[in-house]
């Protein structure tokens, strides 16, 4: 068999295998709001069917040029953290999604948003 035919067969086999393996569709979005002296971070996750998950969100505020803890929260697919916004000039929220299948970690995503 010629080299080009072997290469074509290998490529076709790889494409077949890749099309049969489901892609991970896990995702996480984070938002940050500041209102009335309060800073609030929220995250919402989407998780593959058959998986379990854990989300955490941590909110920080920048006071006198230094990042300080403001609040944190956790949940399965959603999490919220609300804290004091007083004295701050900037804010950021970091959300983490950890996904498990049969008790084994299969994915970990992190997203940060700032304001």
What is the DSSP track for 63-115? ETTEEEEEEEEEESSEEEEEEE-TT-SEEEEEEEEEEEETTEEEEEEEEEEE-
At residue 14, the pLDDT reads: 58
Digits of tens for pLDDT over the chain (115 positions)? 678 776 676 676 655 654 555 566 899 999 999 999 999 999 999 999 999 999 999 999 999 999 999 999 999 999 999 999 999 999 999 999 999 999 999 999 999 999 9
Residue 48: C-alpha distances to residues 8, 61, 72, 105 (Å): 33, 33, 25, 13
Residue 67 β-bridge partners = 62
Alpha carbons 91 and 42: distance in angstroms, whole number: 13
Q: What does pTM read for this prediction?
A: 0.79
Residue 54 β-bridge partners = 98
């Amino acid at each position: 068999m010629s080299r080009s035919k072997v290469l074509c067969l290998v490529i076709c086999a790889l494409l077949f295998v890749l099309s049969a393996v489901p892609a991970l569709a896990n995702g996480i979005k984070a938002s940050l709001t500041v209102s009335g002296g309060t800073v609030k971070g929220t995250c919402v996750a989407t998780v593959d069917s058959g998986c379990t998950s854990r989300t955490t969100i941590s909110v920080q505020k920048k006071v006198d040029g230094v990042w300080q803890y403001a609040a944190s929260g956790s949940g399965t697919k959603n999490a919220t953290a609300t804290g004091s916004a007083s004295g701050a000039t900037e804010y950021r929220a970091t959300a983490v999604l950890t996904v498990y299948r049969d008790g084994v970690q299969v994915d970990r995503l992190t997203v940060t948003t700032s304001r």
